[in-house]
Amino acid sequence: MELQRVLSLVRKAVDDYEMINDGDKIAVGISGGKDSLTLLKALSHLKKFYPKKFDLFAVTVDLGFNNLNLDKIKVFCKELDVEYIIVKTDIAQIVFEERKESNPCSLCAKMRKGALNSALKERNINKVAYAHHKDDVIDTMMMSLIYEGRFHTFSPVTYLDKTDLYVIRPLIYMNEADVIGFVNNYDIPVVKSPCPVDKTTKREYVKNLVKQINRDNPGVKERMFTAIKDSNINGWTL
């Protein structure tokens, strides 16, 4: 996928759900994966011509795994002229060594978001951009159906009242396949996750399940996404 097409989809999401206002300070949460780096590149280019002016930052919460090398991301951010903030933590040690969690994802996510939000508030950043794409929207809905018995997924814009932060998700109109194509076209410096349980979670199971359903029933993912947009799930009404 070409940059111009990515920018078109990102701008549509931003405009449809009023994600950006004049004077916003927006941080992209950078995991090192393809999605967050795609979002960072897209927003850095959108910033050049978008009528509402905003400041952009990149933030990585370093969980404390010893095998995480962020050098390529530092160079990438410099090339995009985006300030890169690295938040050092001991989350990996707490979750895997001290607590020895058998299902570590929930605690890790909670601690990671806490560290991220604290770092943003210290710098007066008012919005954080998560790189959830269309497949993530659908997979989360399926997880809610299977494990919670409800039709639900995250919103394009979420207000966190405890921290007075807004979460925005500008990639919601992009398919994961589009992200992969974009990363390959533009040689985005993806960093492999150092997490020992990466690719072994319930989310990964549901992701593969949805892929199989879509192979058996071509177009079902688009119909699922349309159902979400047309539903009364909080935050999705245009």
Please state, in angstroms and as integers, the Cα–Cα distance from residue 182 to each residue in 4, 29, 55, 215, following that order. Answer: 11, 19, 24, 22
Fold of 3-137+152-195: Rossmann fold (3.40.50)
- How confident is the model at residue 5, as a pLDDT? 96
| Spans of the chain, pLDDT less than 50 | none
Query: In this predicted structure, what is the pLDDT of residue 60?
Result: 93
pLDDT digits (tens, 9 = 90+) for 118-129: 999 999 999 999
Specify the pLDDT at position 30. Answer: 93
pLDDT at residue number 1: 85
How far is it, in rounded angstroms, from Cα 16 to Cα 119? Answer: 29
Question: Tens of pLDDT along 89-139?
Answer: 888 888 887 877 777 777 888 888 999 999 999 999 999 999 999 999 999
Give the C-alpha separation, 180 to 95, whole Å.
30
